[in-house]
Structure 1
Amino acid sequence: MNSELLWVLILLLIAIVLFTTNKLRMDVVALLVIIAFVLSGTLTLSEATAGFSDPNVILIAALFVIGEGLVRTGVAYQVGDWLVKVAGSSEIKMLALLMFTVAGLGAFMSSTGVVAIFIPVVLSVAVRMKISPGRLMMPLSFAGLISGMMTLVATPPNMVVNSELLREGIAGFGFFGVTPIGLIVLLLGVGYMLIARRWLGDSGGAKNTKVTWQRRTFRDLIRDYKLIGRARRLAVRSGSPLIGRSLDEVHLRARYSANVVGIERWKRFRRVMISAFGSTELREGDVLLIDMSDCDIDLRQFCSEQLLEPMILRGEYFSEQARNVGMAEVSLIPDSALLGKSVRDASFRSRYDLNVVGVRRNGETLGGRLADEPLMLGDILLVIGDWKAIRQLQAKTHDFIVLNLPAEVDEVAPAITQAPHALFCLALMVAMMLTDEIPNPIAALIACLLMGRFRCIDMESAYKAIHWPSIILIVGMMPFAQALQKTGGVDLIVKGLMDIAGEAGPRVMLVCLFVLCATIGLFISNTATAVLMAPIAIAAAREMGVSPYPFAMIIAIAASAAFMTPVSSPVNTLVLGPGNYKFGDFVRIGVPFTVLVMIVSVLVVPWLYAF
């Protein structure tokens, strides 16, 4: 082992430790890796940054945009509503339909996004069926992972493996090249979960919950969070000390417990609703929609000091403004950065452009000054603000997930009328990819542009939809594969594999590759695992003198088989809280299923792609 290879392996170990401990963001670690390789002279600048020009990076970014288009047009939510209607009260039918539906949607959009969308659906279904949510949450996450085995573009690891084949001068997989295996694993997963669900929660776990199975409305949320009597509609009069100052500057919440959730303002001869951001500057004539969380505040004194004039408020707690001001319930996830912080300390409004107006803990609504209450795991927050900002919360899965959007959201979906156009764009993209005449990244870009043309998504939402940490992670991990090849690391690993399984035949080698890939995936993301393992698998195939396709395919499947721990994949982490799971639940259910997937894959892959 030469000194350069030793340095690469040490750097890889450091990266794995940083990924595991989560002391630094994964994208930051990836960028540090690029810097380390260049400064050490292991790779040239062009070699270390080659990932930025990789076509698959463009493809992955475009697929994030297409997935957001399906969300903004309401396609994903309509599928969830259909699922509830079709399944009825049958838990078996619900579990099977849920897994098939999630796997189908996840074949064309982010599995993390699909799982986040279906969590509130599953919660409401569990209440309706009077079963524990845990009986459906893990099947939901497993289906999200299996969706990565459904199409070539379903998950980044597939595209990484395909890209490595092309880089080696080998024809890549077809769009549905992985689908037969994915369908077999999906059927296996449904059957397995129908048996394993008995260990995931009792059948009466939701009997005492107060939530009804139907999607709740503004009025339900107002009642549950005791918001009646807290709303005020106040006009800013001439000479008010608020004029010309931003909301962050006037400190109304700290001084009067007055939380501005919306602003009515005259524009072009009509009154429109604008968002109440911290930087929003108040003007004369503005009408403030205010939540007064402390009812002991003297309203007359408040209006007198700030020169505000009370206005007529129709409906309960801004329910008449539902087309402009939205509500949503969100839940903190186990590793949320907000845990232990108060709403004020977390600068919630500044970070998310939304206001927290209610908190439920252990089924009870908290009173008092919510802004100073430290947030705990299991808390459910009621946020209020612009619908656009609420929609954007669904992409912020690193802190919390959106549990419930009220029924009024259907009336204000930003592009719900464009759903047919979104489906057309998706179908066109798939058709272009199937022809092999148009490169996949170009097909995805065409679909993105058409979605913009049809107003399924706007430019701002498109850029925000792209999960940049994932993009940077892929780009930053690619130099490892290059460095291992350049320093002889790939040859060393392949030699070790050949010593272990070379004489036993290619099927045993597939088992070794699957186990190695799945093991590495316990510590780093499945995308980073695929980046490291793809060149090793192809080199192993060449060393054995067999086709590289079954070896590459086994890496793609193993990278998606992240069933064993709640931190193996973001979709597992998402369901950890709502499903009330412990770490051991994933180990107990996930390890046997991973073994089953490995056995099936080793048997089926060589049948589809001969050695």
Structure 2
Amino acid sequence: MSPAIITLIVLGIVAVLFITEAVPLAITAMGGAISLGILGIIPMNTVFSGLSNSTVVLFAGMFVIGAAMFHTGLAQKVGTTVVRIVGTSEGGLMFGTMAIAAVISSVSSNTGTTAALMPVVLGICAVAGIPASRQMMPLAFGAGLGGIITLVGTPPNIIAAGALKNAGYQPFGFFEFAWIGVPLTVVGILYMMFVGKYLLPKADLSVDVVIDAEAAKEAMASNADPTKMWITALTLIGVVVVMALDLKMFTLEIAAVCGAIILILTKCLSEKQAYQGIDWVTILLFAGMMPIATAMDKSGAGKLIADAVVNLMGGSPSPIFVTAVLFALSGGLTQFMSNTACTALLAPIGISIAKSIGASPHAVLMAIAVAASCAFSTPVGTPPNTLVLGPGNYKFMDYVKAGTGLVIVCFIVSLIIIPMVWPFFPGK
């Protein structure tokens, strides 16, 4: 059996386990890399090479900075201030909720952002007599959209950039995602305010949820420290500015780690809280998929998949058609599996397909990463969706009704903007 076929079999097993989550995601990814090493597809000394990838360090640093925002009460404070400004009308609250969720999640965890803002929004809903079902889903959607805006906003963005770098291409810059992330966020907010809100249920807010929300607000308020908030805010701003400047002597991962160290030394969060703030599943999943991506390239498995997909699309498909197909594939998978796993799985395939038609892979990778963040149609597509399921008293079909239209809108906007910003044939 050829190395390419063996790699495809391993990849197929990994894909099934990613979708079903019968085995934890991190174990699936690392198990796939180990299997390819044992089978002789990649050298044994490269099985864990993903752990030494600089992107892993970037992940860890930003997870710690994001955790500090929540431990110091900074995220809560910002959310409360914005909501106070926009008022307590249903439309104003929806706009403020989605906007601030998008801004915070652009530089921190989408899940953490949703968790931090939930008690704020729930409390205001209870006081204003607005059903939580009208605001919880927009909160989760706003966090998901905002994550697209920067390189560190969501794991799929970092994975796409890492895949490009690993394949020898220029990776995406820190704010490069904003070209598509900002328009999608604006359009997404407008969609929810003028279309999506009519598709949301009007379930009443339960007494238990109100009590839980108030208790959470009091607990977070008791931990708030103005000095630590300022230190965290200034550190975050400093890290973002340094990353945006793209200094060769001060790389992204060094900026992230320095920011994390400053926050630990200044007691904005403890060493234990820093370790707990790191999403080890994401890190191990990324580290495990890097050797698998290498195996796909070296064994020829990636080329086999690319050739098969290209032939199915007519032999010489247009790059825009390829991008649309991969967006649809990524957007479909992400509704039922981790967006991180989805991007890690499709990124090397996207690069191989782009190579096979002689196009730049940047547009294809951007489409895959963006689509992976458009997990709006199910409650299991992304943790923020799951978080608001109970407080919003939602059913599965509520996500299908309100979220599917948003996915379609994102698909249309992406196919218009992505080729304009990342040409398929630059220089021609």
TM-score, structure 2 normalization: 0.91
Matches within 5 A, 1:55-94: 55-94=54-93
Instruction: State the match for 1:142 in structure 2.
Output: 141
Instruction: State the match for 1:427 in structure 2.
Output: 237
Verify the 8 A CA contact 2:73 2:220 in the aligned structure 1. Answer: no
Change in 2 beyond 3 A, CA 1:406/1:544? closer
- Cα offset for 1:209? 4.5
- Cα offset for 1:585? 1.8
Instruction: State the match for 1:196 in structure 2.
Output: 196
Separation in 2, partners of 1:71, 1:44: 42
- Cα offset for 1:557? 0.9
- Cα offset for 1:431? 1.4
Separation in 1, partners of 2:20, 2:344: 21
Which residue, 398, 410, 416 being the options, matches 1:585?
398
Letter in 1 for 2:407: T
Letter in 1 for 2:149: M
Separation in 2, partners of 1:126, 1:166: 45
Verify the 8 A CA contact 1:100 1:143 in the aligned structure 2. Answer: yes
Matches within 5 A, 1:234-383: 329=212
Matches within 5 A, 1:7-22: 7-22=6-21
Separation in 1, partners of 2:392, 2:88: 20
Which residue, 213, 237, 251 being the options, matches 1:439?
251
Letter in 1 for 2:134: R
Separation in 2, partners of 1:501, 1:577: 46
- Cα offset for 1:94? 0.9
Change in 2 beyond 3 A, CA 1:157/1:44? same
Verify the 8 A CA contact 1:30 1:477 in the aligned structure 2. Answer: yes
Larger radius of gyration: 1
Instruction: State the match for 2:173 in structure 1.
Output: 174
Separation in 1, partners of 2:369, 2:158: 9
- Cα offset for 1:118? 1.4
Change in 2 beyond 3 A, CA 1:483/1:428? same
Separation in 1, partners of 2:367, 2:97: 26
- Cα offset for 1:477? 2.4
- Cα offset for 1:463? 1.3
Letter in 2 for 1:544: I
Instruction: State the match for 2:296 in structure 1.
Output: 484
Per-residue displacement from partner, 1:167-225 (whole Å, max 9, x unpaired)?
Answer: 233222221101121111111111211222222122x724x85887xxxxxxxx7xxxx
- The answer to whether 1:596 aligns with 2:409 is yes
Verify the 8 A CA contact 1:135 1:198 in the aligned structure 2. Answer: no
Separation in 2, partners of 1:409, 1:555: 37
Instruction: State the match for 2:115 in structure 1.
Output: 116
Separation in 2, partners of 1:406, 1:550: 42
- Cα offset for 1:600? 0.8
In terms of fraction of residues, the more helix-rich structure is 2
In terms of fraction of residues, the more strand-rich structure is 1
- Cα offset for 1:21? 3.6
Higher RCO (CA < 8 A, seq sep 6+): 2
1:407 is paired with a residue whose SS is helix
Letter in 2 for 1:161: A
Which stretches in structure 1 are left out of the alignment for 5+ residues? 213-220, 222-328, 330-401
Instruction: State the match for 2:358 in structure 1.
Output: 545
Per-residue displacement from partner, 1:113-135 (whole Å, max 9, x unpaired)?
Answer: 10111122222222223222111
Separation in 2, partners of 1:477, 1:573: 25
Verify the 8 A CA contact 2:25 2:341 in the aligned structure 1. Answer: no
Separation in 2, partners of 1:64, 1:103: 17
RMSD between superposed Cα atoms in Å: 2.2
- Cα offset for 1:548? 2.5
Instruction: State the match for 1:567 in structure 2.
Output: 380
- Cα offset for 1:151? 0.5
The number of aligned residues is: 420
- Cα offset for 1:61? 0.8
- The answer to whether 1:460 aligns with 2:272 is yes
Instruction: State the match for 2:221 in structure 1.
Output: 410
- Cα offset for 1:541? 2.4
Instruction: Select between 145-154 and 582-591 the one with higher mean Cα deviation.
Output: 582-591
Instruction: State the match for 1:251 in structure 2.
Output: none
- Cα offset for 1:51? 0.8
Verify the 8 A CA contact 1:65 1:462 in the aligned structure 2. Answer: yes
Change in 2 beyond 3 A, CA 1:586/1:436? same
Separation in 1, partners of 2:208, 2:59: 41
Change in 2 beyond 3 A, CA 1:494/1:21? closer
- Percent identity (aligned): 35
Change in 2 beyond 3 A, CA 1:403/1:41? farther
- Cα offset for 1:3? 4.3
- Cα offset for 1:409? 4.5
Instruction: State the match for 1:469 in structure 2.
Output: 281
Instruction: Select between 577-586 and 16-25 the one with higher mean Cα deviation.
Output: 16-25
- Cα offset for 1:425? 0.7
Instruction: Select between 436-445 and 122-131 the one with higher mean Cα deviation.
Output: 122-131
Letter in 1 for 2:197: R
Instruction: State the match for 1:24 in structure 2.
Output: 23
Per-residue displacement from partner, 1:486-506 (whole Å, max 9, x unpaired)?
Answer: 332211221123220553421
Separation in 2, partners of 1:513, 1:210: 43
Letter in 1 for 2:243: M
- Cα offset for 1:563? 1.6
Verify the 8 A CA contact 2:236 2:259 in the aligned structure 1. Answer: yes
TM-score, structure 1 normalization: 0.65
